[in-house]
């Protein structure tokens, strides 16, 4: 039993210990080594491995070593935490955009400002929301690895069966609610839509577009107080509450892993989802369409959750080699192979002008709609260190409202009070 | 002088004679010591230092003394997590004994297919908690799970189970009991077979009925096993994590956020590794006290007999 206790106490250091044992040397046969934790498996991992092989062939002085790092990117930061504690971080790692502020405060993260400022890099060609999400207080903590946005995907068969017209790009949230109600059929176990109620960022980021569409913002202009508990935001949350509690048209997904499979099997009519679903949708041969999110007063803003390649400092030689590799990797030709090959949107606009994109758009229904929807991704979440804590408070508030345990205004006001406390701590 | 010289010579002489046996001894103990120091003591000390720091393991943190421990006392979320853990333990520990003992008694009788039943009851214990959790998620899904289909067939209203804030923790207790009742059964079975036959026979000869034999002979003889199980299951309950992680992730509405899951969230999702380590240490101390108290109580109970 002592051993069992020790395991709990030792989650962190044991990981560090384990990685510290697997040393990585700077030079391997005179070559500069770049260890690349990409977090991708199967077909996606193979694409990246092929790219690394090609780079190694054409760049004799460098050895890019692609490793999975972790099969679940949710745990990537945790893994790198442990690797840093052991003193052997990877040179490049795949990181979620929501971690940017924490990464910016990490001294071992290499500032890529000078690299992206180089005209040959073409930083202006990247999507504005992705650039903003990668920049924290003037420090560029990474370059986009995957960009996405939330749109509305709908199952055409279910709409036909209910005799409803398909959603349009001019839909309001009231249209959305009415359709969800009509689609719901408890007898057949069919829901109009679903919402992820894990209470973490997966819950929270689906809510911010509704706030932004009404001119609201997450924080006040001074960045010191929470501004998300506005009456308009409460009204939006109340719409979801009413759909979940009164209409019972919302499937509440507690672990965030069921809502898409349910959509694939025709049990949910509409989902807020991103381009990452297109591959599975094609595999399951779902007859679906994609439109931007419903809006308020013609404003259809969405949210983009760009992920980044982040460089960690293992000495200037390796850092430079890692930067050179990333500059190559994000060129349109390579981006077409990685992003389009893995069923993602191009990370830069030039890629969408290549012939490869046309093929991609033909292959995946809704690719054009998601690409066009990038224009609606104009705001990013605040890049402050307290964001994860604030997100946790808002996640609780949304869950409370959707489960009918509090009014929308009460839940949001409580979360805002908590957020103010977090912000005051700094 | 002579005596001094003698002791001096002896001092010199001793190590030479004992060197080999000592080396042999260390040869046996060494590897295990290294493993314990490397994988238990070193991380434990490291975590203790971490618990005194404001640190996220990424940026250089700062030493804050006992601030993390002071924060523990004024953390409503931690208080809620503690309550959930206590409620879980209070249901799980006695529950596993109360269910395990009768099954062990039944399996101790000469019945047909006994080995088969024993295997069946022990299999869930061998299955990893992750698999148990995923399985529970499937069959207990409120909308699409088989349990609710059966309930609906029997005319009972559909339940929320793991997605209903007032049922989730209870459901977890039931799932845990299913997954772990194999241990008390096996331990009690072994203890039952250790009870001397003469004791039972003597009691019967003295005219004791089945109930009396059970209460006056079997139960007291099972005492060491019970003490062991109470301590073991309590530690198990206080450290509940994997099942929560694979089923509810602390939801709905944090109603299944137990202490270890809370410290995981703090350390790895909200980047408060120092605070998480402090929670871990507080839990360690509590576990130590609880185990110590149980042992002390057991010893005191044994003393008069």
A356, part of any domain: yes
A367, part of any domain: yes
pLDDT of residue A343: 85
Q: Which residue has the tokens 């207990």?
A: B140
Domain boundaries, chain B: 2-40, 67-302
Which 3-state string (H, E, C) describes chain B? Answer: CHHHHHHHHHHHHHHHHHHHHHHHHHHHHHHHHHHHHHHHHHHHHHHHHHCCEECCCCCCCEECCCHHHHHHHCCHHHHHHHHHHHHHHHHHHHHHHHHHHHHHHHHCCCCCCHHHHHHHHHHHHHCCHHHHHHHHHHHCCCCCCHHHHHHHHCCCCCCCHHHCCCCHHHHHHHHHHHHHCHHHHHHHHHHHHHCCHHHHHHHHHCCCCHHHHHHHHHHHHCHHHHHHHHHHHHHHHHCCCHHHHHCCCCCCCCCCCCHHHHHHHHHHHCCCHHHHHHHHHHHHHHHHHHHHHHHHHHHHHHCCC
* Edge-first strand listing for the sheet containing A151-155: A270-273, A151-155, A288-291
The span from the first CA to the last CA of chain A, in angstroms, equals: 40
Q: ipTM score here?
A: 0.73
pLDDT of residue B114: 83
Distance CA A97, CA A94 (A): 10
A289 shares its domain with A314:
no
Distance CA A315, CA B252 (A): 46
A419 shares its domain with A296:
yes
A254 → closest Cβ in B144, B162, B280: B162
A88, part of any domain: yes
Q: Which residue has the tokens 């946790």?
A: A392
Does domain B67-302 fall under CATH 3.40.50.150? My reply is no
Residue among A111, A109, A115, A88 nearest A26 (CA): A88
Distance CA A62, CA A35 (A): 11
Cβ contact, residue pair B280, A13, below 8 Å: no
A230 shares its domain with A121:
no
A389 shares its domain with A285:
yes
Cβ contact, residue pair A102, B58, below 8 Å: yes
pLDDT of A19 higher than 50: no
Range of the domain at A79: 26-141+305-376
User: Residues A305-323: pLDDT tens digits?
Assistant: 889 999 999 888 899 999 9
A9 → closest Cβ in B47, B162, B241: B47
In this prediction, residues A41-46 reach a mean pLDDT of 84
A5 → closest Cβ in B42, B143, B287: B287
Distance CA B265, CA A289 (A): 37
Distance CA A310, CA A273 (A): 25
User: Residues A126-176: pLDDT tens digits?
Assistant: 998 888 888 988 899 999 999 999 999 999 999 999 999 999 999 999 999
* β-pairing verdict for B53-54 and B62-63: antiparallel
User: Residues B46-66: pLDDT tens digits?
Assistant: 889 989 988 877 777 888 888
Quickly state the pLDDT bin for B122 (edges 50, 70, 90). confident
A21, part of any domain: no
A4 → closest Cβ in B42, B235, B265: B235
In this prediction, residues A97-103 reach a mean pLDDT of 86
A327 shares its domain with A407:
no
pLDDT of B12 higher than 80: no
Chain B residues within an 8 Å CB radius of A191: 143
Q: How many CB pairs under 8 A join A and B?
A: 129
Cβ contact, residue pair A11, B254, below 8 Å: no
Instruction: State how far residue A423 is from chain B, nearest Cα, in angstroms.
Output: 14
A20, part of any domain: no
Cβ contact, residue pair B47, A5, below 8 Å: no
Mutate to test the interface with A, among B32, B59, B81, B237 (most CBs of A within 10 A): B59
A105 shares its domain with A41:
yes
A8, part of any domain: no
What is the greatest pairwise CA distance in chain A? 68
A294 shares its domain with A175:
yes
A341, part of any domain: yes
Mutate to test the interface with A, among B55, B248, B252, B283 (most CBs of A within 10 A): B252
pLDDT of residue A70: 84
A326 shares its domain with A284:
no
pLDDT of A104 higher than 70: yes
pLDDT of residue B240: 92
Q: Tokens for A110, please give them.
A: 């290499």
A81 → closest Cβ in B42, B57, B241: B57
A207 shares its domain with A298:
yes
User: Residues B244-294: pLDDT tens digits?
Assistant: 998 888 888 888 999 999 999 898 888 888 999 999 999 999 999 988 888
Cβ contact, residue pair B141, A258, below 8 Å: yes
Q: What is the DSSP letter of A166?
A: P
A35 shares its domain with A159:
no
User: Residues A319-350: pLDDT tens digits?
Assistant: 999 999 999 999 999 999 999 988 889 999 99
Q: Which of A193-207, B49-63, B82-96, B220-234 has the lowest mean pLDDT?
A: B49-63
pLDDT of residue B23: 84
Distance CA B107, CA B115 (A): 9
Contacts of residue B224, Cβ cutoff 8 Å, sequence gap at least 6: B191, B298
Instruction: State how far residue A226 is from chain B, nearest Cα, in angstroms.
Output: 18
In A41-103, at which residue ranges do the beta strands (DSSP E only) sit? Answer: 62-67, 92-95
Cβ contact, residue pair B43, A105, below 8 Å: no
pLDDT of A234 higher than 90: yes
Q: Which of A395-399, B4-8, B62-66 has the lowest mean pLDDT?
A: B4-8
A287, part of any domain: yes
Q: What is the mean pLDDT of chain A?
A: 87
Distance CA B81, CA B177 (A): 20
A96 shares its domain with A183:
no
Write the CATH number for A323: 3.40.190.10
Question: How much of chain B, in percent, has pLDDT values that exceed 90?
Answer: 28
Mutate to test the interface with B, among A2, A11, A399 (most CBs of B within 10 A): A11
Number of structural domains (chain A) is 2
Q: Which residue has the tokens 């604030």?
A: A390
Chain B residues within an 8 Å CB radius of A14: 39, 43
pLDDT of B136 higher than 80: yes
Q: What is the mean pLDDT of chain B?
A: 86
pLDDT of residue A217: 92
In this prediction, residues A213-241 reach a mean pLDDT of 93
Q: Which of A22-36, A48-62, B183-197 has the lowest mean pLDDT?
A: A22-36
Chain A residues within an 8 Å CB radius of B60: 107
pLDDT of A213 higher than 80: yes
pLDDT of residue B16: 57
pLDDT of B17 higher than 80: no
pLDDT of residue A23: 42
A135 shares its domain with A236:
no
User: Residues B23-35: pLDDT tens digits?
Assistant: 888 888 888 888 8
Cβ contact, residue pair A81, B232, below 8 Å: no
């Amino acid at each position: 039993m002592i051993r069992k206790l020790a395991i709990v106490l030792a989650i962190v250091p044991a990981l560090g210990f384990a990685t510290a044992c697997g040393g990585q040397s700077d030079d391997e046969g005179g070559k500069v080594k770049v260890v690349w934790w990409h977090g991708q498996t199967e077909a996606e991992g193979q694409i990246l491995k092929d790219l690394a092989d090609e780079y190694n062939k054409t760049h004799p002085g460098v050895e890019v070593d692609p490793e999975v790092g972790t099969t679940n990117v949710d745990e990537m930061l945790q893994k790198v935490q442990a690797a840093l504690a052991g003193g052997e971080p990877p040179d490049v790692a795949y990181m979620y955009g929501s971690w940017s502020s924490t990464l910016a405060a990490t001294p071992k993260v290499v500032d890529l400002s000078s690299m992206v400022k180089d005209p040959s890099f073409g930083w202006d060609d990247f999507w504005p929301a992705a650039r903003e999400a990668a920049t924290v207080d003037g420090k560029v903590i990474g370059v986009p690895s995957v960009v996405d946005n939330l749109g509305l995907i709908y199952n055409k068969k279910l709409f036909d069966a209910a005799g409803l017209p398909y959603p349009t790009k001019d839909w309001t949230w009231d249209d959305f609610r009415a359709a969800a109600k009509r689609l719901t059929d408890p007898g057949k176990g069919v829901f109009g839509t679903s919402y992820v109620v894990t209470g973490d960022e997966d819950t929270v980021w689906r809510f911010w577009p509704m706030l932004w569409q009404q001119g609201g913002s997450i924080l006040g202009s001074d960045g010191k107080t929470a501004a998300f508990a506005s009456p308009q935001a409460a009204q939006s949350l109340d719409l979801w509450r009413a759909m979940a509690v009164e209409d019972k048209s919302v499937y509440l997904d507690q672990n965030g892993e069921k809502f898409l499979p349910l959509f694939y099997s025709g049990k949910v009519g509409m989902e807020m989802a991103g381009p990452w679903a297109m591959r599975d949708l094609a595999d399951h041969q779902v007859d679906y369409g994609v439109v931007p999110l419903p809006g308020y007063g013609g404003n259809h803003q969405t949210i983009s959750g760009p992920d980044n390649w982040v460089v960690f400092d293992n000495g200037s030689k390796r850092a430079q080699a890692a930067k050179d590799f990333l500059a190559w990797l994000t060129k349109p030709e390579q981006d077409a192979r990685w992003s389009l090959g893995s069923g993602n949107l191009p990370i830069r606009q030039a890629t969408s002008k290549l012939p490869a994109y046309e093929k991609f758009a033909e292959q995946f229904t809704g690719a054009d709609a998601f690409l066009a929807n990038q224009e609606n991704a104009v705001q990013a979440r605040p890049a402050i260190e307290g964001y994860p804590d604030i997100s946790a408070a808002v996640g609780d508030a949304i869950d409370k409202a959707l489960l009918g345990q509090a009014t929308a205004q009460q839940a949001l006001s409580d979360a805002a009070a908590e957020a103010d406390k977090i912000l005051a701590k700094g | 002088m002579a005596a001094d010289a003698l002791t001096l010579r002896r001092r010199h002489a001793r190590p030479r004679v004992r060197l080999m046996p000592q080396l042999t001894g260390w040869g046996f103990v060494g590897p295990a010591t290294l493993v314990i120091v490397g994988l238990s003591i070193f991380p434990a000390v490291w975590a203790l230092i971490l618990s005194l720091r404001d640190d996220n393991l990424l940026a250089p943190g700062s030493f804050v003394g006992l601030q993390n421990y002071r924060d523990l006392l004024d953390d409503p979320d931690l208080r809620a997590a503690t309550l959930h853990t206590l409620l879980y333990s209070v249901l799980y520990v006695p529950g596993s004994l109360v269910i395990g003992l009768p099954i062990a008694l039944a399996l101790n009788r000469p019945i047909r297919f006994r080995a088969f039943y024993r295997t069946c009851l022990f299999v869930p214990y061998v299955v990893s908690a992750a698999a148990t959790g995923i399985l529970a998620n499937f069959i207990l899904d409120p909308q699409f799970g088989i349990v609710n289909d059966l309930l609906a067939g029997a005319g009972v209203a559909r339940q929320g189970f793991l997605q209903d804030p007032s049922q989730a923790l209870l459901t977890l207790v039931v799932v845990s009991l299913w997954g772990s009742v194999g241990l008390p059964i096996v331990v009690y079975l072994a203890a039952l077979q250790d009870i001397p036959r003469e004791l039972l026979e003597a009691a019967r000869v003295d005219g004791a009925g089945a109930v009396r034999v059970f209460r006056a002979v079997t139960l007291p003889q099972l005492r060491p096993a019970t003490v062991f199980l109470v301590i073991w299951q309590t530690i198990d309950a206080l450290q509940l994590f994997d099942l929560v992680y694979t089923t509810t992730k602390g939801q709905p509405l944090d109603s299944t956020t137990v202490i270890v899951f809370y410290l995981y969230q703090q350390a790895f999702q909200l980047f408060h590794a120092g605070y998480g380590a402090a929670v871990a240490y507080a839990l360690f101390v509590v576990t130590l006290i609880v185990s110590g108290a149980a042992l002390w109580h057991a010893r005191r109970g044994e003393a008069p007999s």
